[in-house]
Every structure is written in structure tokens, then in C-alpha cells.
Amino acid sequence: MSTSRARSLALPVLALLLAPQAAQAGLFTKQVRIHVLGVQVSETRSDGTSWDGPDKSTNDAVGASALPLLALGQVQGAVAALVGGSALNGIAPPDLQGTALVVSNAGLPLSTINLPLVDDDITPSYCASDTACPHSEVHRLGDITALTVTLVDDDALDDDAILPVTLSRKDLRRLMRTGQNPFTTTDQGQGEIQQVSLIVERVR
Ligand SMILES: [Ca+2]
Ligand SMILES: [Ca+2]
């Protein structure tokens, strides 16, 4: 093969070899903003006990202990308000709040997305509208190593800790490319946080 012939073949081959790396580098330089739409936690804690209920020192329990101080009519109204729905049918859903932390390659926080308190709900949603969800600052995807979601069940005395889950940059990249939603947190946190619903928005 002549030198010029070999060169003419080598260049396209080199381009093919470099193309995936270039595409990869392109993805890493993309600017993204992460929106958290909602989460789903398990119906009980991983040890099978309820999040809340009569055996727990919860906000609900404190409310109940105050009931004898109220007049009978007030008690009836207060009980109806306390048990409204879920407590009556044996479910004791948690009062979730927490954060989704965007973590840098150095392990430092880049953005903290606050997930506000939602009472008595294993599937809280955080968006005030289609376009108004808790979200991060804009970051280069290549600067992000993970998104860690940490929640607690807000109780009156000691909050019930919930095992956190982490999405890797690979997970976030896949969500950006496919829009797949929600993200199921397989084999993490003993299944306490089961899903995180989020959008990885490509800003530019
Ligand atoms: Ca609790
Ligand atoms: Ca609670």
C-alpha cells in the first residue's frame, strides 16, 4: 500500500476512533440544571415497622396527647382532622423533607436542592406547576460526580432517618439523554427511597 493510500485510510479510521471520545467530552461540557419533581418511599421502614403510628413519638402523637385538654366537641373535630383518611385505614405515612445534593468531583456540594416538608405522603410531589420545581444551579455535567437524595420523616422529637440514595453522573447522563423518569433506586438504601422523579435539563 502506498504511503498516501495508507494515510487516506488512516484518517477516517482515526476519526471513527476519536468520535465516541469527542461525543463523550461534549456531553461532559454540557450545562445542566437538575429539577426534582418528587420521590417515592416504601410504605414501611426497611425493618417493617411503620413510619408513624401509636407506637411512635410523632407530631401526631403529641397532638393526640393534647386532646384531653380540649372540650369534647373540639376533641371530635381534632380527632377527625388528625386521622383524616390514611390513619384510619392503618397506614402511617411519613412526613418527608430533605435535600438533593449535587456533589462535585472533589466531593464538595455544588448545589443543594431543598425538598420541602410534605405531611403524610409516601409519594410527595414538589412542583408548584409544570415549570416550577425545586432545582439546582446550572453546572457542567462533567463537574458533577453524583446527586445524593437525603430525606427524614419529620417527627416531634427524634426524626426517623431514611437511608439516602445516590445517582451517579452516568445515571444523570442517561436521564438527560433519554428523559427516562422516574429513576428507580435499585438495590440502594434497603429500598426505603424507591424512586426519585427528576429532569436533567440540558441548558446549553
Ligand atoms: Ca415517624
Ligand atoms: Ca412523622
Q: What single letter denotes the amino acid at residue 90?
A: G
C-alpha cell at position 22? 469527542
- Ligand 2 mean position to 199 CA, how many Å? 28
Contacts of 55-62 spanning 24+ positions with Cβ under 8 A: 56/92, 56/155, 56/160, 57/155, 57/156, 57/157, 57/158, 58/95, 58/155, 58/156, 59/95, 59/154, 59/155, 59/156, 60/87, 61/156, 62/156
- Ligand 1 mean position to 35 CA, how many Å? 27
Using the 8-state DSSP alphabet, how is residue 90 labeled? T
Q: Is residue 176 part of a domain?
A: yes
pLDDT score, position 10: 57
164: pLDDT strictly greater than 90:
yes
Chain centre distance of CA 11: 45
* Confidence bin at 59 (pLDDT 50/70/90): very low
Domain range holding 64? 59-89
Q: Is residue 13 part of a domain?
A: no
Which among 20, 22, 41 has a CA at the least distance from the CA of 194? 41
Task: Decide which of 144 and 158 is more confident.
Answer: 144
Which among 96, 82, 84 has a CA at the least distance from the CA of 43? 96
Are 45 and 139 in the same domain? yes
Are 103 and 149 in the same domain? yes
Q: Say which ligand is closest to the CA of 50.
A: 1
SS3 of residue 109 by DSSP: strand
Are 75 and 141 in the same domain? no
CATH of the domain at 113: 2.60.40.150
15: pLDDT strictly greater than 60:
no
Domain count, the chain: 2
100: pLDDT strictly greater than 80:
yes
pLDDT score, position 7: 56
- Ligand 2 mean position to 159 CA, how many Å? 7
Q: Say which ligand is closest to the CA of 45.
A: 1
Are 78 and 171 in the same domain? no
86: pLDDT strictly greater than 90:
no
- Ligand 2 mean position to 83 CA, how many Å? 13
Radius of gyration of the chain (CA): 24
Are 103 and 181 in the same domain? yes
Q: What is this structure's pTM?
A: 0.72
Are 120 and 146 in the same domain? yes
